[in-house]
Structure 1
């Protein structure tokens, strides 16, 4: 991320409470114009909730507090018209299950045209022409013939491409991709990742890539935030986290990845599960599963603090730093794309 880039979105002390249970505990996060940011962690860590809260997409029972600023404009607590002006136009979101996001009884062309009408005011022949251009941009073959087909007449990968086309209809400055490759096979997954990289290069939009697939994150992102139990526990560049993860949870995520080279070895799992938000430990939420936990970890919640190498880390007893030669070996062996 160059020094010339400015923050497009700023989240400050973002908290979410469902029926009296706090599930998001003060997220501080910046997204710069044009950058690609990854959010990783196990299911239930708060990755999707963070951005659903930022865009006002959570149900009415959710209490959202904190600050969400887009180019300095506050969204948290703003009136619905102000939020809808940003949502879809400045910030678009694609979801992991396109089959449930596309309307099954409407032709796909009509759905894209509707997005163009709402966000850019296009109608008639102009809207159809732009829809065909978007379908062609995201790699839908023979777009003019398939414009009037229904979602069930497309494959899963093509439905995801159509969702990306609808998201691009508003020419957003930021695209939030919420696990967009989870339901796809490996070949189609690689195609979607290549498409996201291509679109970012062509349009200059920023991307927030939410995933639990570290390999996918390394192909798309420049910076990564690791979340656990509603908090960010480590943040750094892809090179930093992949060559030298410092938080025990981040280290555990990498240890659980099978190696494709060398002898077959038993995986090293992270014991236990993500804690119930109703019964979080008093101190560090990861302490019951952490092999490096000491007494202080059970009583004091570590803040997310900047480190000498530029990353942010929330751990009083991080994994020891590796030597420069070891970090270079990991990069050479392909742990960092």
Structure 2
């Protein structure tokens, strides 16, 4: 059995002939917390929707997705049904679109328990109440028979987490779980995710554009841009000294409450249309450090001396590329 819980290798996704993921490699170890960050449209969510077989039928997926060494890509629907919920659970940013508005909350949680753990009747009810208590729903016994609209947005997100935990998963994928919530409730949900990981030992993948939230929850982070991973590493090293200009730009655009007041430095432009990607580095048109080579040569994700991986010809703090193959020398 592999030492990794989940392994993604060269994962590619296209819709109607347009490629939106360009060979994602990602490992998730048991019990660890990983962050995926980047602007909307960079491929964070698509990566895990593809891994779990949740993309529409027109999507074309290639590469490899393995859980405990078992391949999922190309397998029938039944193979994914055995994994979703029971091994890997996913929660989304808008719980109102995931909770059934006409079914009582208790029934929705007990249905998940029956499906994944074969619990029924009073045993299912008892476990559902325990899960509601675990995620911080007050007066769970009285509210067991309420409908989703009778809960606040933050409580609905907690209920989605309870439903995800019903399958006792090895991995929880949280896709922008705090985006629609106010700052106080966001903090509570983040604290809950941290506590649940500590108590249950499950791994966590936290998908977000909020670098502050990622720094609280995760141990390792992958930065995505235009369907590729451009930088990855341990959270402390990467946050202290980001090396990719895109990662640096994400940090520069964060408003700060401490220290001297300063003008925010935005990343000009937008994520490129996947139908019209630049010839070279996809970030080159928005990068103030780009040189001519960046516009014609696409860098591979390369292992660096400090342990991180980086896809950049001109890392932050370096006047020249970290490694310039002979083919590049004439262009630099």
Specify the TM-score bucket, using the shorter chain as the normaliser.
Answer: over 0.9
Equivalent of 1:50, from 36, 44, 47?
Answer: 47
Q: TM-score, normalised by structure 1?
A: 0.93
Provide the C-alpha distance between the structure 1 equivalents of 2:58 and 2:79, rounded to a whole number of angstroms: 21
Q: Secondary structure at the match of 2:39?
A: coil
Q: TM-score, normalised by structure 2?
A: 0.95
Q: CA deviation at 1:262?
A: 2.3
Matches within 5 A, 1:247-266: 247-266=244-263
Q: CA deviation at 1:163?
A: 0.1
Cα distance per residue 1:15-67 (max 9 Å; x no partner):
00001100000000100000000000000000000000000000001001100
Matches within 5 A, 1:22-171: 22-171=19-168
Structure 2 counterpart of 1:10: 7
Cα distance per residue 1:215-234 (max 9 Å; x no partner):
00000000000000000000
Matches within 5 A, 1:235-246: 235-246=232-243
Cα distance per residue 1:128-175 (max 9 Å; x no partner):
000000000000000000000000000000000000000000000000
Provide the C-alpha distance between the structure 2 equivalents of 1:216 and 1:263, rounded to a whole number of angstroms: 23
Cα distance per residue 1:168-212 (max 9 Å; x no partner):
000000000000000000000000000000000000000000000
Q: Secondary structure at the match of 2:127?
A: helix
Provide the C-alpha distance between the structure 1 equivalents of 2:79 and 2:57, rounded to a whole number of angstroms: 17
Provide the C-alpha distance between the structure 2 equivalents of 1:24 and 1:236, rounded to a whole number of angstroms: 20
Q: CA deviation at 1:266?
A: 1.1
Provide the C-alpha distance between the structure 2 equivalents of 1:44 and 1:80, rounded to a whole number of angstroms: 27
Aligned residues: 317
Structure 1 counterpart of 2:191: 194
Matches within 5 A, 1:271-290: 271-290=268-287
Structure 2: segments with no counterpart, 5+ residues: 319-332
Provide the C-alpha distance between the structure 1 equivalents of 2:302 and 2:91, rounded to a whole number of angstroms: 31
Cα distance per residue 1:86-113 (max 9 Å; x no partner):
1110000000000111000000000000
Q: Moved runs in structure 1, 4+ residues, more than 2 A?
A: none
147-156 vs 263-272, greater mean Cα deviation: 263-272
Structure 2 counterpart of 1:308: 305
Structure 1: segments with no counterpart, 5+ residues: 322-337
Provide the C-alpha distance between the structure 2 equivalents of 1:11 and 1:238, rounded to a whole number of angstroms: 20
Q: CA deviation at 1:263?
A: 2.6
Q: Secondary structure at the match of 1:251?
A: helix
Q: Secondary structure at the match of 1:129?
A: helix
5-14 vs 64-73, greater mean Cα deviation: 5-14
Provide the C-alpha distance between the structure 1 equivalents of 2:77 and 2:254, rounded to a whole number of angstroms: 43
Provide the C-alpha distance between the structure 1 equivalents of 2:231 and 2:41, rounded to a whole number of angstroms: 17
Q: CA deviation at 1:264?
A: 1.8
Q: Are residues 1:320 and 2:309 paired?
A: no
RMSD: 0.8
Provide the C-alpha distance between the structure 2 equivalents of 1:130 and 1:90, rounded to a whole number of angstroms: 18
Q: CA deviation at 1:6?
A: 2.4
Q: CA deviation at 1:265?
A: 1.5
Structure 2 counterpart of 1:330: none
Q: Secondary structure at the match of 1:111?
A: helix
Provide the C-alpha distance between the structure 2 equivalents of 1:6 and 1:259, rounded to a whole number of angstroms: 39
